[in-house]
């Protein structure tokens, strides 16, 4: 069955939207435009554009961020709008087309914006938008069953070398997605052919996990946050993660780097403004997001979701995106996804 | 374990928790009745409320909303042919014809009893065997799911009336074809999207069901207005509210309800299937088991055809708590949200949840008993009033159905393209219906097709392209064997019958 995703709490969204329009109307009536933004660098309201349906990762990030910003009083009004379709392409196109009215909008996105624009899923890329800041990151993780014979990455490489068909990696999304690219990158790092990797695609992380536990696959490729939850249930262990060094939330989990494989990969989530957003305004948004880290409200949301704080504002964010585009691009060329 | 159950019982009967069972069931039934808005929407609405509650109370509330929505979803399927949620699509196949015959009250009552049976039986299974069932969840691999979907496809026979076999087959194939639209997971390649980003994620089952059933139904009603006026006036005023089920009828459907509950529960326990599949499978199974005479009734208002999917989808929704609670694996979007909620509470579902949080684990299961009783009490007295919905003048009802059907689909994706797509499918469906093509096989092919392909591709990838998985795994081989029997049995039966009648004819002729 195709995804029948859920709807969000639309009534509250509508209410905030109404409130927003009311606030906007008041501002228009009683203040001279320009004065309000000139005297203080506070952001009054943010409208979050979510390129997917409710319940997904993007939705959780935007709503969690919005909740923290509002509760901590950093921003007075937040509103949300879901616009799914085309793997996020629909929302990007919308943001570009209506850029002039979208100066108060932040669109949430993550690593797939880089992957999908490389693949030509949508014609735009992050360059057509105004990168504001990356706020959280999730490293990739390789997970095995508790009773798996694999205890070290080298054993996987050895098995792969003797017969690549024997090593089966499960993942919760389609071929060419991050779950596939990460193990492929690690194999490539060993000087082996990443195209020979057997990647078994499931339609959701939970089903991929069931595939691992039922013995269909030997390794599960997923995000660290999800992997930690799974390992807490006591049926699987995390073999390695793609962080540059061990992370605070999982001090016992080794990195691929320690195991002699230099694959480092972070799936970031962050926010973009409409094209033509002034750098001043972008800085203000980035500042608000950085102020958010030290609030209690954010800590609640963060720990509830197991997110890792990673802050990369404006120019740094753009540089990082360029870097990632090069990294992912060369891998995808090798895998035959790009010509 | 007994200790745990007792803890669960004492938690479940706390006034606050009983209240939440009631609230959950009420909200769930209500949202479920609205065409298109299913359990996921209902649960998503509840999430902000649950943050402030105790873990067991919150999960009890969400569980109540979940099975309440599936319970309530049948109402709109039966009354206006607009499925309340995807798992009650099958209910419309026989429920709506019953309502058209003026048996709306009876259909609603039967659906309520069937749902109650499914929910209560599976709550019982959960109580006695939840931990042991975890291994069942994990025993199914891709090849087994593939075999199960093939078995499910044999149900196409259930949708083909006399002389309709070829048309039903064609519609199944069309459904299979539509299911290939979108990104192919196993290769990452887009298929039949014509470069449109809106088609990249494929077509949703609910959209297809709403367009071909709800929308097409109301448009047909408008188109055929003049012909139908006379008969309609007769049926509308006749025994609309009669919800009495005779003793013979109970006798007829009781085995169906029990069989379908068991099947639905098992399918629910499998993380790769779900309530919609369970309903389709139960409907097909019941049709295959029915006598030749009874078979013809399917699709025209068969009691068994109504009871089977209703019992199965409710049993399946309870069954899906097995992988969720004992393994931490969500089998559907709805249970994925509940998993998120549990984790937010700091509870890790998995093999140790029974030990670490016995109160939450068992109280949810125990609360399902109360929930099903509440649902029955809540729904039965309402039936006479709800079925009056049919008395609403068409000029009001038609726009209302259009409104709910379209908003229901739109609220899932927030993509206006989906609305255009609905209109497209609706027009296509009207054309096909006018030519007497049945719509149900289309949905069957669509819902099973996607899963069948994905699982076959995985099975082939795992077995290195060899078809050996078909006989190497006992479960796969077993299901395939059943499939073959199901396909051959009617032919063999026909053959034997012919021989017998020939013999009779011969003896008859010799006697005369």
Token representation of residue A190: 């060993």
pLDDT at B332: 80
Contact A180 B350 (CB under 8 A): no
The Cβ of residue B392 has, within 10 Å, a number of other Cβ atoms equal to 12
Contact A85 B413 (CB under 8 A): yes
pLDDT digits (tens, 9 = 90+) for B191-226: 998 888 888 888 988 899 989 988 998 888 888 765
**Are the C-beta atoms of A321 and A131 separated by less than 8 Å?**
yes
Which of B47, B188, B415 has its CB closest to that of A175? B188
CA A31/CA A203 separation, integer angstroms: 51
CA atoms within 13 A on the CB side of B198: 12
Token representation of residue B278: 């369970």
CA dist A173 → A163, A222, B18, B306 (Å)? 24, 10, 40, 36
**Are the C-beta atoms of A199 and A172 separated by less than 8 Å?**
no
Residues contacting residue B125 through CB under 8 Å, at least 6 positions apart: B133, B265, B318, B319
pLDDT at B356: 85
Report the top-level CATH class of A10-30+41-136+268-331.
alpha beta
∠ CA B91-B92-B98, rounded to 5°: 100
With a pLDDT cut of 90, the percent of chain B lying above it is 34
pLDDT at B236: 47
The pLDDT-based confidence of B170 (bands split at 50, 70, 90) is: very high
Which of A121, A213, A216 has its CB closest to that of B142? A216
Best-predicted range by mean pLDDT (B43-52, B159-168, B333-342, B455-464): B455-464
The pLDDT-based confidence of B241 (bands split at 50, 70, 90) is: low
Q: State the nearest Cα–Cα gap between B474 and chain A, in angstroms.
A: 15
Q: Mean per-residue pLDDT for B318-328?
A: 91
pLDDT at A15: 39
Helix or strand (DSSP H, E) at B316: helix B303-319
* Length of chain A as a residue count: 339
pLDDT at B343: 77
Q: Give the pairing of strands A266-273 and A130-145.
A: antiparallel
Q: Is the pLDDT of residue B381 over 80?
A: yes
Q: In whole numbers, what is the pLDDT of chain B averaged over residues?
A: 86
Q: Mean per-residue pLDDT for A154-178?
A: 92
Contact A83 B415 (CB under 8 A): yes
**Are the C-beta atoms of B203 and B178 separated by less than 8 Å?**
yes
With a pLDDT cut of 70, the percent of chain B lying above it is 94
pLDDT at A298: 94
Burial of B221 (0-12, 13-18, 19+ CB in 10 A): middle
Residue B24 sits at φ, ψ, to 5 deg, of: -60, -50
* Of residues B431, B410, B434, the one with CA closest to residue B420: B410
* Lowest-pLDDT range of A38-47, B62-71, B368-377, B503-512: B503-512
Residues contacting residue B141 through CB under 8 Å, at least 6 positions apart: A211, A214, A215, A216, B459, B462, B473, B475
Q: Mean per-residue pLDDT for B96-101?
A: 88
DSSP B243-281: ----HHHHHHHHHHHHHHHHHHHHHHHSTTS-HHHHHHH
CA B390/CA B392 separation, integer angstroms: 5
Q: Which residues of B479-507 are buried (b: 16+ CB within 10 A; e: fewer)?
A: bbebbeebeeeeeeeeeeeeeeeeeeeee
Helix or strand (DSSP H, E) at B226: helix B225-237
**Are the C-beta atoms of A141 and A238 separated by less than 8 Å?**
yes
Q: Mean per-residue pLDDT for B171-197?
A: 88
CA B339/CA B348 separation, integer angstroms: 9
CA atoms within 13 A on the CB side of B317: 36
> Would the CATH topology of A10-30+41-136+268-331 be identical to that of A138-266?
yes
CA B279/CA B276 separation, integer angstroms: 5
Q: Is the pLDDT of residue B379 over 60?
A: yes
Domain boundaries, chain A: 10-30+41-136+268-331, 138-266
Residues contacting residue B5 through CB under 8 Å, at least 6 positions apart: B127, B362, B366
Q: Is B163 left (phi over 0), alpha (psi -120 to 50) or beta?
A: left
Q: Is the pLDDT of residue B499 over 80?
A: yes
* Of residues A214, A216, A1, A221, the one with CA closest to residue B458: A216
What is the chain A residue with the closest CA to B411?
A7
Q: At what angle do helices A178-189 and A314-335 cross, to 10 degrees?
A: 70
Q: Is B85 left (phi over 0), alpha (psi -120 to 50) or beta?
A: beta
Best-predicted range by mean pLDDT (A177-181, B94-98, B114-118, B330-334): B114-118
Q: Is the pLDDT of residue A17 over 50?
A: no
Residues contacting residue A58 through CB under 8 Å, at least 6 positions apart: A50, A51, A52, A88, A108, A109, A110, A269
Q: Is the pLDDT of residue A27 over 50?
A: no
Residues contacting residue A261 through CB under 8 Å, at least 6 positions apart: A153, A186, A189, A190, A240
**Are the C-beta atoms of A59 and B40 separated by less than 8 Å?**
no
Give rounded-to-5 percent helix, strand, coil for chain A. Answer: 45, 20, 30
Q: In whole numbers, what is the pLDDT of chain A averaged over residues?
A: 84
Q: State the nearest Cα–Cα gap between A9 and chain B, in angstroms.
A: 5
Q: Is the pLDDT of residue A39 over 60?
A: no
Q: Mean per-residue pLDDT for B140-166?
A: 82
Say whether residue A16 is in contact with chain B using an 8 A CB cutoff: no
Domain boundaries, chain B: 2-472
Contact B197 A89 (CB under 8 A): yes
Which has more pLDDT, B398 or B114? B114
The Cβ of residue A208 has, within 10 Å, a number of other Cβ atoms equal to 27
Q: Is the pLDDT of residue B501 over 60?
A: yes
Chain B residues lying within 8 Å of A86, measured CB to CB: 196-198, 200-201
Q: Mean per-residue pLDDT for B437-455?
A: 90
Q: Is the pLDDT of residue A35 over 70?
A: no
The pLDDT-based confidence of B312 (bands split at 50, 70, 90) is: very high
Say whether residue B323 is in contact with chain A using an 8 A CB cutoff: yes
Say whether residue B100 is in contact with chain A using an 8 A CB cutoff: no
Best of B32, B34, B36, B44 to disrupt the A interface (most A CBs within 10 Å) is B44
Of chain B, the end-to-end C-alpha distance in Å amounts to 72
pLDDT at A13: 38
- C-alpha B154 chain-centroid distance: 17
Say whether residue B498 is in contact with chain A using an 8 A CB cutoff: no
Q: Is the pLDDT of residue A63 over 80?
A: yes
* Lowest-pLDDT range of A41-45, A180-184, A249-253, B295-299: A41-45
Question: What count of CB pairs under 8 Å joins A to B?
Answer: 189
Q: Mean per-residue pLDDT for B416-438?
A: 92
Contact B188 A198 (CB under 8 A): no
* Lowest-pLDDT range of A245-249, B308-312, B444-448: A245-249
Q: Mean per-residue pLDDT for B292-301?
A: 82
* Length of chain B as a residue count: 512
CA A128/CA A91 separation, integer angstroms: 13
pLDDT at B509: 58
Contact A214 B138 (CB under 8 A): yes
What is the chain A residue with the closest CA to B47?
A9
CA B30/CA A115 separation, integer angstroms: 42
Contact A1 B184 (CB under 8 A): no
Residues contacting residue B198 through CB under 8 Å, at least 6 positions apart: A85, A86, A90, B415, B417, B418, B421
Out of 3.40.50.920, 3.10.50.40, 3.40.190.10, 3.40.980.10, which CATH number does the structure's domain A138-266 have? Answer: 3.40.190.10
CA dist A314 → A273, B133, B445 (Å)? 10, 51, 49
What is the chain A residue with the closest CA to B273?
A1
Say whether residue B206 is in contact with chain A using an 8 A CB cutoff: yes
Q: Is the pLDDT of residue A56 over 80?
A: no
Q: Mean per-residue pLDDT for A33-59?
A: 70
Burial of B463 (0-12, 13-18, 19+ CB in 10 A): middle
Q: Which residues of B176-195 are buried (b: 16+ CB within 10 A; e: fewer)?
A: bebbebbbbbbebebeebee
pLDDT at B237: 41
CA B496/CA B502 separation, integer angstroms: 10
Q: At what angle do helices B39-50 and B15-33 cross, to 10 degrees?
A: 140
pLDDT digits (tens, 9 = 90+) for A240-299: 999 998 988 788 999 999 999 999 998 999 999 999 999 999 999 999 999 999 999 999
The pLDDT-based confidence of B438 (bands split at 50, 70, 90) is: confident
Question: Hunting for tokens 């009802």 — which residue is that?
Answer: B397
The pLDDT-based confidence of B347 (bands split at 50, 70, 90) is: confident
């Amino acid at each position: 069955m195709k995804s029948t995703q859920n709807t969000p709490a639309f009534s509250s969204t509508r209410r905030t939207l109404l409130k927003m329009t009311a606030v906007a109307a008041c501002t228009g009536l009683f203040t001279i435009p320009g004065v309000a933004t000139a005297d203080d660098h506070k952001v009054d309201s943010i409208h979050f554009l979510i390129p997917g349906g409710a319940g997904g990762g993007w939705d959780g990030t935007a709503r969690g961020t919005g909740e923290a910003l509002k509760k901590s009083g950093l921003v007075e009004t937040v509103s949300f709008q879901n616009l799914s379709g085309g793997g996020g392409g629909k929302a990007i196109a919308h943001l570009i087309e209506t850029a002039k009215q979208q100066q108060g909008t932040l669109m949430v996105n993550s690593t797939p914006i880089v992957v999908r624009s490389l693949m030509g899923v949508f014609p735009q890329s992050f360059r057509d938008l105004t990168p504001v800041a990356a706020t959280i990151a999730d490293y990739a993780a390789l997970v095995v069953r508790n009773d798996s014979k694999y205890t070290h990455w080298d054993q996987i490489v050895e098995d792969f070398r003797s017969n690549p068909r024997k090593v089966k990696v499960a993942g919760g999304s389609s071929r060419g997605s991050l779950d596939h690219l990460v193990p492929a990158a690690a194999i490539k790092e060993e000087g082996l052919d990443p195209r020979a990797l057997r990647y078994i695609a499931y339609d959701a992380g939970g089903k991929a996990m069931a595939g691992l536990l039922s013995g269909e696959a030997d390794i599960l490729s997923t995000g660290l946050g999800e992997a930690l939850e799974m390992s807490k249930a006591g049926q699987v262990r995390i073999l390695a993660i793609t962080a540059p060094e061990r992370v605070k939330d999982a001090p016992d989990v080794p990195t691929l780097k320690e195991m002699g494989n230099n694959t480092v990969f972070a799936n970031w989530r962050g926010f973009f403004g409409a094209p033509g957003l002034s750098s001043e305004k972008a800085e203000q948004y980035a500042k608000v997001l950085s102020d958010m880290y030290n609030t209690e409200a954010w800590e609640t949301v963060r720990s509830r979701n197991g997110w890792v704080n990673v802050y990369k504002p404006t120019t740094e964010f753009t540089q990082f995106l360029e870097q990632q585009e090069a990294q992912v691009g060369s891998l995808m060329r090798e895998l035959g996804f790009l010509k | 374990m007994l200790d745990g159950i007792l803890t669960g019982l004492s938690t479940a009967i706390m006034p606050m928790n009983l209240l939440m069972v009631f609230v959950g069931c009420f909200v769930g039934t209500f949202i479920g009745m609205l065409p298109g808005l299913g359990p996921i929407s209902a649960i998503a609405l509840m999430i902000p409320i649950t943050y402030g509650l105790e873990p067991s109370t919150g999960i009890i509330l969400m569980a109540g909303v979940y099975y309440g929505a599936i319970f309530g979803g049948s109402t709109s399927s039966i009354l206006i042919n607009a499925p309340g949620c995807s798992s009650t699509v099958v209910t419309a196949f026989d429920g709506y014809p019953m309502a058209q015959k003026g048996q709306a009250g009876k259909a609603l009552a039967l659906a309520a009893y069937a749902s109650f049976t499914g929910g209560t039986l599976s709550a019982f299974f959960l109580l006695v065997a939840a931990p042991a069932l975890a291994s069942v969840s994990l025993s199914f691999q891709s090849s087994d799911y593939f075999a199960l979907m093939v078995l499910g496809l044999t149900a196409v026979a259930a949708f083909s009336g006399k002389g309709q076999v070829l048309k039903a087959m064609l519609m199944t194939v069309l459904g299979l074809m539509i299911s290939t639209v979108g990104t192919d997971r196993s290769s990452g390649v887009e298929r039949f999207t014509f470069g449109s980003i809106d088609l990249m994620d494929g077509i949703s089952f609910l959209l297809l069901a709403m367009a071909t059933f709800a929308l097409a139904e109301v448009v047909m009603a408008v188109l055929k207005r003049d012909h139908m006026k006379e008969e309609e006036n007769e049926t509308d005023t006749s025994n609309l509210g009669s919800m009495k089920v005779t003793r013979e009828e109970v006798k007829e459907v009781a085995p169906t309800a029990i069989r379908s509950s068991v099947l639905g529960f098992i399918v629910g326990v499998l993380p790769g299937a779900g309530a919609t599949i369970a309903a389709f499978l139960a409907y097909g199974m019941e049709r295959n088991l029915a006598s030749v005479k009874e078979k013809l009734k399917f699709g025209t208002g068969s009691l068994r055809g109504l009871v089977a999917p209703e019992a199965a989808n409710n049993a399946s929704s309870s069954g899906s708590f097995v992988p969720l609670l004992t393994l931490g694996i969500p089998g559907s979007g709805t249970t994925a949200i509940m998993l998120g909620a549990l984790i937010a509470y700091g509870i890790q579902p998995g093999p140790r949840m029974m030990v670490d949080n016995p109160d939450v684990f068992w109280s949810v299961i125990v609360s399902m008993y109360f929930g099903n009783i509440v649902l029955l009490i809540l729904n039965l007295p309402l039936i006479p009033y709800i079925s009056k919905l049919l008395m609403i003048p068409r000029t009001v009802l038609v726009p209302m159905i259009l409104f709910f059907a379209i908003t229901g689909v739109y609220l899932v994706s927030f993509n206006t393209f989906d609305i255009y797509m609905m209109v497209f499918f609706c027009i296509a469906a009207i054309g096909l219906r006018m030519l007497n093509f049945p719509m149900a096989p289309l949905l069957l092919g669509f819902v099973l097709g996607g899963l069948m392909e994905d699982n076959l591709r995985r099975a082939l990838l795992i077995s290195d392209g060899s078809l050996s998985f078909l006989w190497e795994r006992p479960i796969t081989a077993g299901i395939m064997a059943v499939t073959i029997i199901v396909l051959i049995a009617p032919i063999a039966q026909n053959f034997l019958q012919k021989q017998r009648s020939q013999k009779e004819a011969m003896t008859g002729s010799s006697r005369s």
